[in-house]
Structure 1
Amino acid sequence: MSLLRKLRRRANSKPREKRRLPRKSRSENASAEITIEIGLPSSKVAETVYRSLLPETKQPSGFRSHVSVKRRGRTLELQIFADDIVALRAASNTFLRFVTVAVKTVNVVAPFYRERNGE
């Protein structure tokens, strides 16, 4: 059968009914939570990473996850709350990547800063 005939046959056939699954409300979704503590080389690095993460935690209410960041000495604590396990995994991967990038950036920039300021 030619492509043209197939297209005509499809155009003349009845449209399929779309079956929709009932959507769960946010209250029916299981909530998920994780706390991650990250030890860093120094309190200066911890403060720098903490300050770089703070703007990322300010999100409008429409997102499926929320993150809070705390700093105690050389330790960062990430608390991630999510509507479901998929959102929890995505948020934790994102924030762990942010921490990794911030630490690597500090390690690259710090020698130039020390050299410039005579430390």
Structure 2
Amino acid sequence: MDIAEQIKKIRKEKGFSQQDVADKLSMNRVQYNRIETGKSDPTMNILQRIADVLEIEVVQFFEAKKNNKEIHSIDEPTLQRAKLLDELDEIQKSSICTMIDTAIANKRLKEALSNAMNI
């Protein structure tokens, strides 16, 4: 199960509509829908805000259950680090999320440039 599916599943379990979550995020519903349908990749900052609205830990977006067993879609050390993020204050969380978002954006840019050069 990917992150978009997990967000949708958890939102429904909590009894929220897409509009409810979008309103709490100060985001329009169409924009939020793009996250849940996987058409838009949320930044770590947005994932943290969605987790706050849903009153869960961010790490839950990376977990799934199958036959009553927890399955993690990321490796254990990364999962442990994600769990520890909740112990940080908001400024520290924001700083780390910004660094992660920057690293991901750089990786995607390199991949896009590489693909463009190979065409």
Q: Write 1 or 2 for the structure with the bigger share of helix.
A: 2
TM-score of the alignment, normalized to the shorter chain, above 0.5: no
Q: Write 1 or 2 for the structure with the bigger share of strand.
A: 1
TM-score by length of 1: 0.30
TM-score by length of 2: 0.30
